[in-house]
Amino acid sequence: MKKYTLCLLILLLAVGSAHAEDQASTATALRPLTNPFFVFENGAGRDQWTPERQAETLARLGYAGIGYSGTGNLDARMKAFDRPDLRVFNIYVACHLNNDPPYGDDLKAAIKRLRGTGVTIWLTVQGKSENDEKAVQYVTEIADLAAASGLQVALYPHAGFFVADIEDALRIVRQVKRKNLGVTFNLCHELKAGNEARFDELLEEAAPVLFVVSINGADHAGGWDQLIQPLGQGAFDLNKLLRKLQAIGYEGPIGLQCYNVPGDTLANLEHNIIQWKAIVAEFAVGGR
């Protein structure tokens, strides 16, 4: 009888301990979601809306800001977003391994113009090469130019480019060895690369140098129309990804990728911010 009671007690303690560990794990994984949420310019009237209209609309809806494409019209862009509730998070630019020069004076001028603004240089590395030598050289040069202006550089992996996924980006970052150089996790491009089964591993590896994350609704595979959808659509479990980002301690900005998403620009922005606020609300009350 005593032996039975002792076994029962041990079993109850084990169950209680497991329950407590599970509660602690859930609490750790489901903290309030406080990452700034911005939108790519491709979802905010690129080539159609003025910077002033972009800023007014995004502020009214509750976005934290925008990620711009290219180095053009910087003065107007920065002026429009010079307000306490908004900011320009990054500018999307390129270096090309097979071009001479690999990047232009416009990028150098933009980096100088952006001194002290906190805008991240979102850098794609394009072209073909049998090794990393040119990529390391050019990325080092750009990182050093950015450092002189107090700016960070985040490599932007893109399907079909020399830096095509986050593994490529990490490989270059390790060779360049600059404190202001990091990587971006782009959901759609990582899905395109077939990396979904390894997301946890890749994010843990990238955590110390993860500067930016981009998300969207998505299916697990397919063309861009399946890999880039409005929030709340597609089979991919976005909440699971966001929980993993919390688990690795990521507190940086999260951008909304909108490339070629059909529909009215304003209606899409309204839909996506409603979906984002619903996700934030879920995290605030313990998630699911």
Mean pLDDT of 212-230: 98
237-252 tens-digit pLDDT: 999 999 999 999 999 9
Q: Are 148 and 135 in contact (CB under 8 A)?
A: no
- List strand residue ranges (DSSP E) for the chain, in order: 37-40, 65-69, 87-96, 120-126, 153-155, 181-186, 210-215, 254-256
The answer to whether position 18 is within a domain reads no
User: Has residue 25 been placed in a domain?
Assistant: no
Has residue 124 been placed in a domain? yes
Tell me whether residue 219 is exposed, middle or buried, using C-beta atoms within 10 angstroms of its C-beta: 0 to 12, 13 to 18, 19 or more: middle
Whether the CA torsion 31, 43, 257, 138 is positive or negative: it is negative
Tell me the average pLDDT of the chain: 91
User: Is position 275 within any domain?
Assistant: yes
CATH classification of the domain holding 46 = 3.20.20.150
In a domain, 114, yes or no: yes
pTM: 0.89
Residue 26 lies in a domain: no
**Pair 109, 74: CB distance under 8 Å:** no
In a domain, 59, yes or no: yes
Q: Is 6 a residue whose pLDDT tops 80?
A: no
Q: How many domains does the chain have?
A: 1
Q: Dump pLDDT digits (tens) for 17-72.
A: 443 344 334 444 468 999 999 999 999 999 999 999 999 999 999 999 999 999 99
Q: Which residues span the domain enclosing 126?
A: 35-284
Task: State the average pLDDT over residues 153-177.
Answer: 98
The reply to whether 6 falls in a domain is no
